[in-house]
Amino acid sequence: MTYHGRTSGCRIVVITPASQAGDGGSIPLTRSIFIALCLFLWQPASAALPATLADGTSLPSLAPVVEEVLPAVVNIETFNRVRLRGPLRFSPFRGLYSQPREARRMASAGSGVIIDAARGYILTNYHVVESAQEIQVNLKDRRGISASIVGFDRQVDIAVLQIDAKSLVQITRGDSDELRVGDFVLAVGNPFRFDSTVTSGIISALGRGAGAGGYQDYIQTDASINSGNSGGPLVDLAGHLVGINTAIHTPSGGSVGIGFAIPSNLAIGIAEELIASGTIRRGNLGLWIEELTLDEREALGVSGKAGVLITRITPGSIADSENIKPGDLLLRIGERTIRDASDYASSAGLFIIGQAVTLELRRDAEPLTVTVEISPPRSVPVEGRRVDARFHGTTLQNFLDEDATEASSLGVLVTDIKRGSHAWNAGFRAGDILTSTGRSQVRDIDDLLRGLHSSGSDTVIGVYRSGSRGTITLRALPGV
């Protein structure tokens, strides 16, 4: 069973209920000793050791790192005015008239981190501020400053805020692509409104998905993350930003040692686009990929861990118009090595319209490099059989929203259909706009292809025709 919920300032993701509930967020004494030993062996030249034993022996400490990071971490308070219906318990007119509404100011809290001190930009989670009417940022030096939203991205769960203040301290950016399982990290934030809380742990896994939708390439950590930590930084032992704390796995509502953070490279990339344009203009290559097993790697002569198999190309997509074919191996996107589906998903989160992307491929044991430009959805006629054999005899294309300021697709248009074809007999006609498959929205041909691919033999398709909405069941082909 999978459950998704949100608490004040922190999204909770329950992946599988556990048999026992508990906090589980504390660090055992043995781990504390182990961390201390590791820090004793590794000390930056600038990190002082403030504590000593009675005999003068120095003790390693995380304090120098924490002292550097804390001024860049902020508490975010959001406020809404909610109107509640009054009871009118003793009114003789109760039930005859609408009851008056009472306005209440509701508050919630989360965390954030300053990424640009000169311009006052703060990085946090979108779900921390998504319903906010007022936002206040509380700094480490006790200043409370009103903030505005620069932009947000629901898919990655990132938002950028801006405040007008001087003497800010920004965090140093790290490289999340360099993280390894086992690296020590610190989670900093304001859990349960306890400001400037620091917890420690390790990187438990990389490239995790938590089943919550959107672009998921999470860093998993056992550093304790709780309600109010959302939007706060995950930092390495040099105090560099490597992630944005976002979600937890919990059967009880509290930390059980499984937390998730958005990699800093993805979060910063989205933030820079939001700062530049105020929105995310994301495109889609139209690649379907599959991870390779060890046996498949040996059969294909692929050495190392790089490479995923391209299994399908979405008709009419960018990849369909370039020299990319099913069966090619995708090795790199830009500077990023593609080892698995999470690497590709993280890269896809940064496919911004207008951006040139270089793909390193391998075809028949020969290297191939292709550079493509990410473009808005295109209304290109596509033979229906290329999408699904049941649409043989039809012509499909993206139905673009002509009123939108940027090209966006509202569904898939049936531009032509052959009388007597399987789709015709099912009830489809020219001019139909396909809007859903099952319970999944269809915005473009890629969505349609995905829905048909995952639905099984019979698929219920939502159709908009002549101002009315309905459904048509597209059944399996005879003998299939």
Contacts of 205 (CB under 8 A, 6+ apart): 181, 219, 220
Instruction: Tell me which amino acid residue 262 is.
Output: I
Please indicate whether residue 127 is annotated as part of the active site.
yes
Helix residue ranges per DSSP H, 75-230: 126-129
Beta carbons of 464 and 429 less than 8 angstroms apart: no
Q: Which of 108, 111, 127, 422 is catalytic?
A: 127
357 vs 436: CA distance, rounded Å: 30
Please indicate whether residue 157 is annotated as part of the active site.
yes
Q: Which of 204, 227, 230, 317 is catalytic?
A: 230
Q: Within 13 Å and on the Cβ side, how many CA atoms surround 228?
A: 18
For 249-347, strand residue ranges (E) read 259-263, 287-290, 308-313, 329-333, 336-337
Q: Tokens representing 60?
A: 């390693």
Q: Which of 157, 320, 446, 447 is catalytic?
A: 157
Coil vs helix vs strand at 273: helix
Q: How many beta carbons lie within 10 A of that of residue 83, not counting itself?
A: 10
Beta carbons of 336 and 381 less than 8 angstroms apart: no
Residue 455's H or E segment, with its range, is helix 445-455
Chain centroid to CA 53: how far? 46
- For the annotated catalytic residues, the residue numbers are 127, 157, 230
